[in-house]
Amino acid sequence: MLDQVLDIFDIVPDTDLDLMCPGQSLSSLTCRALSGVSEYLQVERPDLVLVQGDTATVFAASLAAFYQEIPIGHLEAGLRTGNLKSPWPEEANRVLTSHLATLHFAPTEVSRNNLLREGIALERIFVTGNTVIDALHLALARVRHNPPAIPQLGPFLMNQRRDIPLVLITAHRRESFGAKLESMCRTIARLAEHFPHVHFVYPVHLNPTVRATVANTLGNTATGFNGSNVHLIEPLSYLPFVALLERATVVLTDSGGIQEEAPSLGKPVLVMRDRTERPEGLQGGTVKLVGADPEEIFRETARLLNDVGHYQSMARVQNPYGDGAATQRILDAIWRYFDTNPSAVSSAATRRSECPQLLLERS
């Protein structure tokens, strides 16, 4: 899943820690990441470690850098729900990383204020917007110039009949595993039966737990539902996913980043979680929390599909998460940090290239 993103943006990793194993636990993944990143840092000695997001590898890389007294820059810093169990374990990863990091790149003023309340020094916080919007702008330009094919959907639904309503679904968070994900899937089946003219497209995550639940609850044999307007497709690479997001009418999700991307395209988002670390979308009216409650999911989706006025009120194009220039703001802040802290640049790095070396740990 990572390789296709690297290919799109022409990124070639210098080192692959090869951490992923089938069925591994969070603790084993975290230990392997901590060990692998630590060994890398001991050899390379970068002057700054950049981590982005809220994954186990973000926390492990931050801890490894902290142990070796290497400054840490946290992209997408300050997102909070205030509940360590939601999203789980991402909220804990975020909080722990914030208290290890040196530089904090907050996407919004809300995130900045969260960090200030936790005692993070004002001069170490930079409101930059989110790089996910930078990536979205780049991807949209490419998608509009050369629309990618999605063979599992075909041109009829993607291009020729764009007037057909399409609900895009993403659901894969660990906190949703079990009864919640089953409830979401049953509600999708109910919606599909109630709205036969609407197509429901669900790129199913590769996680075996997710795939088993989706197959058992939305698969033809298990549910007895013919699935004629439900499309369970393989995960999409980034450009086809952006094309599908732009094509969608409504988005149902338990994800995080899509809460930032969809409003940028004027797509109403129903978040199948009880809390979100991205309240800006709620405040702007483009995002609504529906939890895993089947009646709430059904009611709010039906309202968006039936009520043109309500749809238009949520589809207002508002983008509180950035203007596509977050990357440059982050780079400027990093260079200012090195300018004002010349001792942070190691002598080894100076001999190598006369400029600081950055290690990026992508979520």
Task: Please give the helix or strand (H or E) that residue 111 lies within, else none.
Answer: helix 109-117
Answer with the residue of higher pLDDT: 214 or 49. 49
Instruction: Identify the pLDDT of residue 348.
Output: 41
Mean pLDDT of 165-183: 87
Q: Tell me, what's the pLDDT at 117?
A: 97
- Gap between the Cα atoms of 138 and 89, Å rounded: 30
pTM score, whole prediction: 0.77
323 close to 133: Cβ distance less than 8 angstroms: yes
Give the three-state DSSP class for 270.
Answer: strand
Radius of gyration of the chain (CA): 21
**Run of H or E residues at 255:** none
Q: Which of 15-19, 30-34, 69-73, 219-223 has the lowest mean pLDDT?
A: 219-223
Closest to 237 measured CA to CA, from 133, 148, 158? 148
Judging by beta carbons within 10 Å of its beta carbon (0-12, 13-18, 19+), is residue 211 exposed, middle or buried?
middle
Distance of alpha carbon 314 from alpha carbon 322, whole angstroms: 19
Residue 52: Cβ within 10 Å count = 20
303 is catalytic: no
Q: Which of 74, 94, 112, 172 is catalytic?
A: 172
Would you say 50 and 75 are in contact if contact means Cβ atoms under 8 Å apart? Answer: yes
Is residue 351 scored above 60 in pLDDT?
no
Dist CA 307 CA 325 (whole Å): 35
Most confident by average pLDDT, 82-86, 135-139, 277-281, 329-333: 329-333
**Tens digits of residue pLDDT in 9-55:** 889 999 999 888 888 899 999 999 999 999 999 999 999 999 999 99
Rounded CA separation 298/292 (Å) = 10
Quick one: which of 30, 34, 42, 36 has its CA closest to 18? Answer: 36
What the block records as the tokens of 239 is: 């450009």
Catalytic residue among 94, 112, 205, 231: 205
> What residues contact 161, with CB distance under 8 A and at least 6 apart?
none
**Known catalytic residue at 172:** yes
Active-site residue among 32, 47, 74, 76? 76
- How many beta carbons lie within 10 A of that of residue 39, not counting itself? 13
pLDDT band at 249 (very low <50, low <70, confident <90, very high): very high
- pLDDT of 341 reads 86
Q: Are 193 and 224 in contact (CB under 8 A)?
A: no
For residues 207-231, average pLDDT: 71
| pLDDT computed for residue 356 by the predictor | 57
- To the nearest whole number, what is the mean pLDDT of the chain? 88
Per-residue pLDDT, 292: 87
SS3 320: coil
Residue 343 burial by CB count (10 A; 0-12/13-18/19+): exposed, middle or buried? exposed
Residue 73 contacts residue 126 (beta carbons within 8 Å): no
174 annotated active-site: yes
pLDDT in the model for residue 199? 93
Q: CB–CB of 167/199 below 8 Å?
A: yes
For each of the domains in the chain, give its residue range(s) and CATH number, in order of start. Answer: 2-130+322-361 (3.40.50.2000), 153-314 (3.40.50.2000)
Instruction: Tokens 């041109």: give the residue.
Output: 155
CA angle 147, 148, 151 (to 5 degrees): 130
Catalytic residue among 47, 74, 90, 300: 90
pLDDT at 159: 79
- The predicted pLDDT at position 309 comes to 94
Mean pLDDT score, 330-345:
89
Which helix H or strand E contains 234, and what residues bound it? Answer: none
User: Which amino acid is present at 238?
Assistant: Y
Q: Catalytic: 205?
A: yes
Q: Are 73 and 105 in contact (CB under 8 A)?
A: yes
Contact 26, 56 (CB under 8 A): yes
Residues 302 and 295: beta-carbon distance below 8 Å: no
For residue 317, the model assigns a pLDDT of: 65
Q: Which residues pair with 168 in a beta bridge?
A: 201, 251
